[in-house]
Every structure is written in structure tokens, then in C-alpha cells.
Amino acid sequence: NAGVTQTPKFQVLKTGQSMTLQCAQDMNHNSMYWYRQDPGMGLRLIYYSASEGTTDKGEVPNGYNVSRLNKREFSLRLESAAPSQTSVYFCASKSKRTNVNTEAFFGQGTRLTVV
């Protein structure tokens, strides 16, 4: 049971570079999320996808784009990285059914540093 798998685990970018964070889940979940975690601020939602083919902005979407490639995969792209995007990024997924497993399952996180 892999659960939620994120790649890469660590990444250093130069300002202005682009990159894509990959996320895949094997639990047949409908909903997937991208969060960023910064010291003292908890987890803030960047984008989410309620189901395959749909994406919506969260609390802090500026500077990011997402793609829900299929039911399993949800990627996060930084087109032009900025130092303010230095953070730990978490992907999560959960079932859409209200009576089962409404907790979210998280990946291991990606530690991104933009210099």
C-alpha cells in the first residue's frame, strides 16, 4: 500500500526556474489537494481537485498551476519560482463519500528551496 506518493522529496531551484511536483495516489480517491507548510502558518491550501477533470483555487494559488492528469495523479507546477515559494509541499487525497474515510491521507512532502 503506497498511499500517496510525492516526487521529488527535495529540490533546490534558482529564481525564475520552473518545475513540476508530482503526486500519485493508489486509493481510488476522488479528491486531491496541494498544500504548502510554512513555519508558524500551518498548512495552507494551494489548489484542489474535487474529481478528475476539475481543479479549483485554494487559499494561496498565486504562482502555481495544477493538472489533474487522471484519477490517480495531480501535479503542481511552478512556472517561475520565487524565493517566497520556498516551503514544504504536501499532496493529499481523500474519498468523496461522506460516510467513509473522510480524513485526508498525505504524502511525505517535498522540501523546496528557491535561491
Cβ proximity of 105 and 77 under 8 Å: no
From residue 35, alpha-carbon distances to 1, 28, 99 in Å are 22, 20, 24
Cβ closest to other proteins, residue 19 vs residue 50: 50
Cβ closest to other proteins, residue 14 vs residue 103: 103
Report the distance separating Cα 50 and Cα 56, nearest Å.
Answer: 8
Q: How far apart are CB 56 and other proteins at their closest, in Å?
A: 8
Q: How far apart are CB 35 and other proteins at their closest, in Å?
A: 8
Q: How far apart are CB 48 and other proteins at their closest, in Å?
A: 6
Residues that bind other proteins (CB under 8 A): 31, 33, 35, 40-45, 48, 50, 56, 58, 88, 90, 92, 98, 102-109, 111
CB within 8 A of 78, min separation 6: which ones?
Answer: 13, 18, 19, 20, 21, 63, 64, 85, 112
Q: How far apart are CB 80 and other proteins at their closest, in Å?
A: 27
To 5 degrees, how large is the angle CA 16–CA 87–CA 21?
65
Cβ closest to other proteins, residue 63 vs residue 109: 109
Cβ closest to other proteins, residue 17 vs residue 86: 86
